[in-house]
Amino acid sequence: MLDLKNKGLTALQDLSKQDILDILSHAGEFKNGLRKNTLDGKVLASCFFEASTRTRLSFESAVARLGGKTIGFADGSSTSQSNKGESFIDTLRMLNCYADGLIMRHPNDGAARLASEVMTIPVINAGDGANQHPTQTLLDLFSIQDSQGSLEGVNLGLMGDLKYSRTIHSLIDASKLFNMRLFLIAPPELRIASENLHELRRHGISYSFHSTAEEVIDRLDCLYLTRLQKERFNGNLDCEYGISLKTLEKAKPNLSILHPLPRLEELPTEIDDTPHAYYFQQAQNGVYVRQALLDIIFGE
C-alpha cells in the first residue's frame, strides 16, 4: 500500500482488492477494541468546502482516538479563498505547510486528485462533487461484510439517485471486485450513467434495471438506498421513490438495509425498528474504518 502511505486515498480504484480486505480486517480490530496512538504529535487538516455531519465528525473522532489533532473548517465560506480571492491551489499550498495530512471534501469533481498532485502530504478524499467518496465505500463494504459474513457474490440492490450519488459510483467500482450481483432500482431520470454501465459490462458484472424495490426484494441480501442529490443538479426533478414496511413483507431474513445518510422520505423512520435496519451501525462503522485507514497511512 505504498501509494496510500505516500499519497493518501483519492479514489477507490487506487486500492487493490487485497488492500481493501486488509483495511476492512484492520477496521474489525478497531471495532473489537484495538487502541493505538499512531497520530500522537501529528496534525491533520480537516477541510470541508461542502457540508457534512458523518464524514467530518467520524474522521475527527478517528484522529482523536489515534492521539492526533485536527485543524480546519467545516464551511469553506470562512476562508481567504472565499473572501479575498485566493486561489484553490494556494490554499492547498498553505495547508501543506500546516498539517501532516489533509482530509478534504469539495463540491468539484477531481478536487482531491488535484490536491494530491499539488501537495506533498497524504490527501484523503472525503467526497468530491458527484465523483467519488472512497472512505464511504470502505465503510459500506465493511457493513456489507459485517451483516452478511462475506462480500463475495452478494445480491446488492442499489436504489435511488444512481446518477448523481458519489457513494453509488464508488460502490459500483467496488462491486466489480467482489462479484456482486447488482439490482439497479431507480426512476428513469436517475438511472446509472452510461460510463458506469459500460464499466459493469466490461467487468462482466450481472445487473438488471427495476422501478421499485418490491420487484426484487425477495432476492436481495442488501438494499442500499440513497437520497435525491438535489445539490448536484439545477432545477427540479419531480421523481418519488422509497420503501415502506410493506416493501419488506417478502424480504429475506438476512436482508440488511444500508443508507449513507442523511436520509429523506425514501427511508421512513418506520423502518428503523425492523431487524433489517443497519444504517446507524453503518455510520458508526465509519469511525473504525477511518481509524484503520489513518493507522495504515500514518503508521510505521
Which residue of 53, 78, 80, 244 would you call a contact of ligand CP, by CB under 6 A? Answer: 53
CA dihedral (92, 95, 96, 101) positive or negative: negative
Instruction: Point out the residues that are catalytic.
Output: 54-55, 84, 105, 133
CA distance 138 to 162: 18
Among 188, 200, 132, which Cα is nearest to 161's? 188
Is 226 one of the binding residues for ligand CP (CB under 6 A)?
no
Q: Counting contacts by CB under 6 A, is residue 42 touching ligand CP? A: no
Which residues make beta-bridge pairs with 252? none
Q: Which stretch binds ligand CP (CB under 6 A): 19-27, 53-61, 194-202, 210-218?
A: 53-61
Q: Which residue has the cell 473572501?
A: 83
Q: Can residue 55 be called a binding residue for ligand CP (CB under 6 A)?
A: yes
Minimal distance in Å, beta carbon 228 to ligand CP? 14
Find the part of the chain contacting ligand CP (CB under 6 A) among 60-68, 241-249, 254-262, 269-277: 254-262
129 binds ligand CP (CB under 6 A): no
- Smallest separation (angstroms) from ligand CP to the CB of 218: 28
Stretch of residues binding ligand CP (CB under 6 A), selected from 21-29, 157-165, 236-244, 258-266: 258-266
> Helix, strand or coil for residue 200?
helix
Q: Which of 288, 289, 256 is CA-nearest to residue 275?
A: 256
Does residue number 137 form part of the binding site for ligand CP (CB under 6 A)?
Answer: no
Number of other residues whose CB lies within 10 A of the CB of residue 184: 22
Q: Which of 259, 255, 270, 175 is nearest to 218 (CA)?
A: 255
Position 136 contacts ligand CP (CB under 6 A) = yes
The binder of ligand CP chosen from 8, 72, 76, 260 (CB under 6 A)? 260
**Is position 291 an interface residue for ligand CP (rule: CB under 6 A)?**
no
C-alpha cell at 297: 497511512
Stretch that binds ligand CP, among 14-22, 48-56, 66-74, 96-104 (CB under 6 A): 48-56
Residue 275 main-chain phi, psi, to 5 deg: -70, -10
196 is a site residue for ligand CP (CB under 6 A): no
Rounded to a whole number of angstroms, the minimum distance from the CB of residue 104 to ligand CP is 12
Helix, strand counts (H, E) of the chain? 10, 10
The reply on whether position 31 binds ligand CP by CB under 6 A is no
Helix (H) or strand (E) holding 174: helix 166-175
Contact 27, 291 (CB under 8 A): yes
Q: Which of the residues 1 through 30 are near ligand CP (CB under 6 A)? A: none
Instruction: Give whichever of 135 and 155 is closer to ligand CP, judged by the CB atom.
Output: 135
CB atoms within 10 A of CB 239: 13
Q: Which is nearer to ligand CP, 38 or 285 (CB)?
A: 285
DSSP string, 8-48: EES-GGGS-HHHHHHHHHHHHHHHTT----TTTT-EEEEEE
- Is 91 a binding residue for ligand CP by CB under 6 A? The answer is no
Angstrom distances, CA of residue 277 to CA of 169, 180, 267, 281: 22, 21, 10, 9
Q: Is 261 in the site for ligand CP (CB under 6 A)?
A: yes
Q: Which residues contribute to the site for ligand CP (CB under 6 A)?
A: 52-55, 127, 136, 260-262
